[in-house]
Amino acid sequence: MSLPKIYLRPGREEAIRRFHPWVFSGAVARTEGDPQDGDVVEVVDKNGRYLATGHFHNGSILVRIFSFQPVVPDVAYWTAKLTTIRTIRTALLPPNTNCYRLVHGEGDGCTGLIIDLYNGVAVLQAHSIGMHRERNLITEALKNVFGDELRAVYDKSAETLPDEYAATVQNAYRYGLVEVPHKVEENGHTFLVDWISGQKTGFFLDQRDNRQLLARYAAGKKVLNAFCYSGGFSVYALQAGAALVHSIDASQKAIDLTNRNVTLNAGEGENRHEAFADDVMKYLQAHDHQYDLMVLDPPAYAKSLSARHRAVQGYKRLNAEGLRRVAKGGILFTFSCSQVIDRELFYNTIVAAAIEAKRQVRVLHHLSQPADHPVNLFHPEGGYLKGLVLWVE
């Protein structure tokens, strides 16, 4: 069966020849056939020569490419693709770790698809209608790839799909059933993950390497973990011998989960840890604590270019206030996961915050997402997480 074809304007095929995974509507000359949102289509040049295969969506990004070779996206195709990706993941994972990102969208040639593995449970999150329509095939492929190791597949796409389509979707198990919260292991630390009611797919896997780095600085230190969510940085700091750890999050549910994770790793009666359900800025302004080690890992302040200026001001205010609470000779881990805030802009924003706080600062590390969140060389937009480790004088 022939697929609908998307013909590009003259000269607009070069981005696709350089393997960029998006076709913008302005690059399209005409459409052959009548593709509907989510349909598989072929992208061709002005003369009809094949360029790529992807999912159609009537919007600014008209096609999200998942292959630069003619393919039939059936169970065999997805099994082969996931097998290759799993082989790469197996080679890079640290010991004593059974939770990781199996598929990272464009970074793995699967535009619009996220799959996180939590100790035998695959949590699938589709960001496009086309990928969501592939969910049954992908579930079968996961069963083929993992065999008896796969305990369940949970589809958590309702929050990430276009609104009109999302209204017809319910998050649900596609295979198996595992009660939450579910125990996972990361670098030898144990965490409870709830993919049903938790944020994202249940855990912030992208901070694994950065949590491990923080542990190298934590022994004997007074630590603040701001925007702590489930307490990942807090657990690492305590297990590395921190003298005191304060965890703050506006969500009481997050604080409860943090306390459970601390107890799970450190045991009952851990008196070095206190958790507070509070607004981080209000907490920083209301207390005069000085911390030797601080983590500022806020949620994305900007999800669109129109919100970028306001986000920059928010990052500056937050980091200036944080820098005022870092003791002389202390360390600040600061992050942005806003895709529209690039590395240079984030760096310059932290410079402005240091000037406002009147603190001398040196950069010790430039941080990013771990290797199971790969960035496609031809799609740098996939490098969303950026961070700095600062020595504050």
Mark whether 57 and 164 lie in a shared domain: no
Q: pLDDT tier at 342 (50, 70, 90 boundaries)? A: very high
Q: What is the pLDDT of residue 146?
A: 98
Residues 6+ apart with CB under 8 A from 14: none
How many other CB atoms are there within 10 angstroms of residue 254's CB atom? 21
Q: pLDDT per residue over 183-227, tens digit each? A: 999 999 999 999 999 999 999 999 999 999 999 999 999 999 999
**Of 21, 39, 67, which residue constitutes the final position of a domain?**
67
Residues 6+ apart with CB under 8 A from 196: 154, 156, 171, 180, 202
Percent of the chain topping pLDDT 90: 94
**pTM of the shown model:** 0.95
Distance CA 368, CA 370 (A): 7
Mark whether 366 and 291 lie in a shared domain: yes
Q: Which of 184, 177, 183 is nearest to 155 (CA)?
A: 177
Distance CA 310, CA 3 (A): 44
Q: What is the pLDDT of residue 301?
A: 80
Mark whether 218 and 357 lie in a shared domain: yes
Q: What is the pLDDT of residue 307?
A: 79
Q: pLDDT per residue over 216-269, tens digit each? A: 999 999 999 999 999 999 999 999 999 999 999 999 999 999 999 999 999 888
Mark whether 282 and 141 lie in a shared domain: no
What is the identity of the amino acid at 336? S
Mark whether 367 and 230 lie in a shared domain: yes
Mark whether 107 and 51 lie in a shared domain: no
**Of 17, 33, 67, which residue constitutes the final position of a domain?**
67
Q: How many domains does the chain have?
A: 3
Beta bridge partners of 64: 22, 55
Contact between 81 and 110 under an 8 Å Cβ cutoff? The reply is yes
- Domain of residue 26 covers 5-67
**Of 22, 40, 67, which residue constitutes the final position of a domain?**
67
Q: pLDDT per residue over 100-129, tens digit each? A: 999 999 999 999 999 999 999 999 999 999
Residue 194 is assigned to a structural domain of this protein? no
Contact between 112 and 59 under an 8 Å Cβ cutoff? The reply is no
CA atoms within 13 A on the CB side of 44: 16
- In the chain, DSSP assigns E strands to 5-8, 22-24, 28-32, 40-44, 50-56, 61-67, 99-104, 113-118, 121-126, 152-155, 172-176, 182-186, 189-193, 222-226, 244-249, 273-277, 291-296, 326-336, 361-367, 386-392
Task: Kindly tell me if the per-residue pLDDT of 340 is higher than 90.
Answer: no
Mark whether 267 and 385 lie in a shared domain: yes
Q: pLDDT per residue over 122-169, tens digit each? A: 999 999 999 999 999 999 999 999 999 999 999 999 999 999 999 999
Name the catalytic one among 99, 110, 228, 337: 337
Task: Kindly tell me if the per-residue pLDDT of 383 is higher than 80.
Answer: yes
Q: pLDDT per residue over 300-326, tens digit each? A: 886 777 778 888 999 999 999 999 999
Q: What is the pLDDT of residue 12?
A: 95
Q: What is the pLDDT of residue 111?
A: 97
Active site residue 337: yes
Which is it for the CA torsion 201, 203, 205, 206, positive or negative?
Answer: positive
Q: What is the pLDDT of residue 269?
A: 85
Interstrand relation of 5-8 and 40-44 (parallel, antiparallel or unpaired): parallel
Interstrand relation of 121-126 and 152-155 (parallel, antiparallel or unpaired): parallel
Residue 354 structure tokens: 């240091």
Q: What is the pLDDT of residue 310?
A: 87
Q: What is the pLDDT of residue 309?
A: 86
Q: Which of 330, 321, 336 is nearest to 367 (CA)?
A: 336
Percent of the chain topping pLDDT 70: 99
Which is it for the CA torsion 237, 243, 248, 251, positive or negative?
Answer: positive
Interstrand relation of 121-126 and 113-118 (parallel, antiparallel or unpaired): antiparallel
Q: What is the pLDDT of residue 378?
A: 94
User: E strand or H helix at 129, and its extent?
Assistant: helix 129-133
Gyration radius of the chain's alpha carbons: 22
Mark whether 168 and 224 lie in a shared domain: no
Q: Which of 38, 37, 49, 69 is nearest to 5 (CA)?
A: 49
Across the chain, mean pLDDT equals 96
Q: What is the pLDDT of residue 339?
A: 85
Mark whether 29 and 101 lie in a shared domain: no
Residue 320 structure tokens: 């200036």
Q: Give the CATH number of the domain where residue 90 resides.
A: 3.30.750.80
Residue 189 is assigned to a structural domain of this protein? no
Q: pLDDT per residue over 279-288, tens digit each? A: 999 999 998 8
Long-range Cβ contact pairs of 55-59 (< 8 A, separation 24 or more): 55/111, 55/112, 55/128, 55/129, 55/130, 55/131, 56/4, 56/6, 56/130, 57/128, 57/129, 57/130, 57/162, 59/25, 59/162
